Structure 1
Amino acid sequence: MSDTVVETTNLTKSYGDFTALSDLSIHVNRGQILGFIGPNGAGKTTTIKILVGLSKPTSGCATIAGVDCSQNASRIKRLVGYMPDKFGSYDNMRVHEYLDFFGAIFGIPASQRKARIQEVMETTSTTYMQDRYVESLSHGMQQRVGIARTLLHDPEVLILDEPANGLDPKARIEMRQLLLQLAARGKTLIVTSHILPELARICNVVAIVTAGKLRAFGTVDEVMSSLCPQRSYEIQLASASHIAQAEKVLGQLLLDSEPLTSSPAELTL
């Protein structure tokens, strides 16, 4: 039996004479993380809209857990948890109130919501902030609450639009750990980004799109080998004070390496 959870076949979307997406064919298995990478206008948002049932393709097909995304939008909304790139909230709502509000929207009975909210807060390490006002949280905290919201109805697939955008190095590491944890629990993730290194550490498969067309699809190593014949390494550090130590260790491991270049939060070979 196939373990494919998300699949698109020759997916195409046109608006008049403009083709936003052309013949996109990808597949993601259960428990995998797909890095969906491309610049603005590449077709990422168009693909996401089709996958979550908000838009119908001009041709081709997209399915989640065997359900056609364009034919059964109500079922798709139960199968998918979607977090857009901009966190939306209402003023004067505490975190637990915010999650309760969305739990009600998802149709979770009042008798079950409290326990479910506690469960998703524990999963996302947001329990300690449950009584804080959502608008008072840092960007990184809000992103974690956003993921808690997407988990409320226990979807099979999570689609996260730029979840690490704007996060500091420490928060990025915490976000990566959370996404890996969710994948280990059997969730299938589609995570968008503008750049490959952002997702290379956690993705099983990568799809790169530009101008509505799929340019590369495969494992991270396969895509990196095809796009970057000269291998490069990138190390992110939580503090600039660790750069000298990292240079020393890398120098010992890679005797024939090129000169190292660094910034306060990143070290690149």
Structure 2
Amino acid sequence: MIEVVGFTKRYGEFTAVDDLSFSIGKGETFGFIGPNGAGKSTTIRFLATLLRPTTGEGRVAGHSVTGDPMAVRRVIGFMPDDFGVYDGMKVWEFLDFFAVAYEIPRTARKKIIGEVLELLDLAHKRDDYVNGLSKGMKQRLCLAKTLVHDPPVLILDEPASGLDPRARLEMKALLNELRRMGKTILVSSHILSELADFCTSIGVIERGRLLAAGSIRDIQKQLRAHRVLKVQLLDGEAGRAAEILRDDPSIRLVETFDHTVTAEFEGVDEDMARLLERLIGAGLPVHSFAEEPLSLEEVFMMITKGIVS
């Protein structure tokens, strides 16, 4: 649904984005992550047809970003990291303004605006003035206007920026719902732990260059040669559990801390099931037994170098 091929953007001698290429399949939620100044917003503005490339091309739902920008605009919902409104505009008027821009017939607009307000839990704010809304409500409204023409592709630039914890959780729930509706979503964010909860794939960018792209699990495998197994036990039995794990050929290194045992694991899923069976068979009180994946923060820190253009 989204394809970027060799996208480069230069401003004089400065290269903001350098030969960027990636693709996003239908129904995916792609987390676009990188430090400030990495080139995320530049790439997003290019895909939203707001910025012409120095070189390269992009396609959204089969339409060329440079060759047919109007077709691209019809199939995307773009949420910028900041947006403004006219003074004295009510919530429903704000959405109606965009519905008119997308050439939605007058007879259909009222129904569509009502449905979008319900989806975003803004129906009770229908007649409120936009300037009087809280930051969280304004973010919801901006997301609502991206959905008014029911686009199959959403491009969201820092949708949770500046929100308090409750508003961030509500925004995450909304994005999860949009994913379940089958939308293809590209979302940039600095809140990496929340991206990990709903993204199916990620791209890591630094100094305008793409360092890694793919499913979170595949990138984790590339960064860490072994899997890590974490076992939590009751009643101080970590030592005996560690002895059982050390005797298994699929285990490399075992460490214990309090009631927890962590081990480097080189087997397959069937070996993991066998290990759990051995621990339970030995009468150990296993509280939890699971693979410990790299967090998105760890992935980010391992890939990037902390250099800002």
- 1:13 aligned to 9, 22, 28, which one? 9
CA distance in 2, matches of 1:99, 1:37: 29
Name the SS for the 1:201 alignment partner: helix
Quote the residue 2:49 is aligned against: 53
Quote the residue 2:120 is aligned against: 124
- 1:181 aligned to 153, 177, 184, which one? 177
Deviation at 1:255, TM superposition (A): 2.1
Quote the residue 2:248 is aligned against: none
How high is the TM-score relative to the length of structure 2?
Answer: 0.70
* Contact 2:61 2:72 (8 Å CA) reproduced: no
Note closer, same or farther for the CA distance 1:88–1:211 as it changes in structure 2 (3 Å cut): same
- Structure 1 residue 217 corresponds to structure 2 residue 177: no
Letter in 1 for 2:181: R
* Contact 1:37 1:195 (8 Å CA) reproduced: no
Which stretch of structure 1 is more off in the superposition, 189-198 or 208-217?
189-198
Q: How many residues in Structure 1 have an aligned counterpart in Structure 2?
A: 233
* Contact 2:31 2:188 (8 Å CA) reproduced: yes
Quote the residue 1:30 is aligned against: 26
Identity of aligned residues (%): 46
Letter in 2 for 1:113: R
Letter in 1 for 2:102: F
- Unpaired runs of 5+ in structure 1? 232-253, 258-267
Name the SS for the 2:198 alignment partner: coil
Name the SS for the 1:22 alignment partner: strand
CA distance in 2, matches of 1:39, 1:162: 12
CA distance in 2, matches of 1:85, 1:170: 19
Deviation at 1:186, TM superposition (A): 1.5
How high is the TM-score relative to the length of structure 1?
Answer: 0.80
* Contact 2:30 2:187 (8 Å CA) reproduced: yes
Quote the residue 1:157 is aligned against: 153
CA distance in 1, matches of 2:223, 2:189: 17
Name the SS for the 1:176 alignment partner: helix
Letter in 1 for 2:51: S
CA distance in 1, matches of 2:190, 2:34: 5
RMSD: 2.2
Any idea what the Cα deviations from partners look like across 1:24-69, whole Å, max 9, x if unmatched? 1111111111101112211111111211112222222210011110
Where in structure 1 do 4 or more consecutive aligned residues deviate above 6 Å? 228-231
Note closer, same or farther for the CA distance 1:225–1:138 as it changes in structure 2 (3 Å cut): farther
- Structure 1 residue 40 corresponds to structure 2 residue 36: yes
Deviation at 1:171, TM superposition (A): 1.6
CA distance in 2, matches of 1:140, 1:224: 33
Note closer, same or farther for the CA distance 1:126–1:50 as it changes in structure 2 (3 Å cut): same
Note closer, same or farther for the CA distance 1:227–1:92 as it changes in structure 2 (3 Å cut): farther
CA distance in 1, matches of 2:6, 2:156: 23
- Structure 1 residue 168 corresponds to structure 2 residue 164: yes
Q: Higher RCO, 1 or 2 (CA under 8 Å, sep at least 6)?
A: 1
Any idea what the Cα deviations from partners look like across 1:179-213, whole Å, max 9, x if unmatched? 11111111111111135323111100000101000
- Unpaired runs of 5+ in structure 2? 229-258, 263-296, 298-309
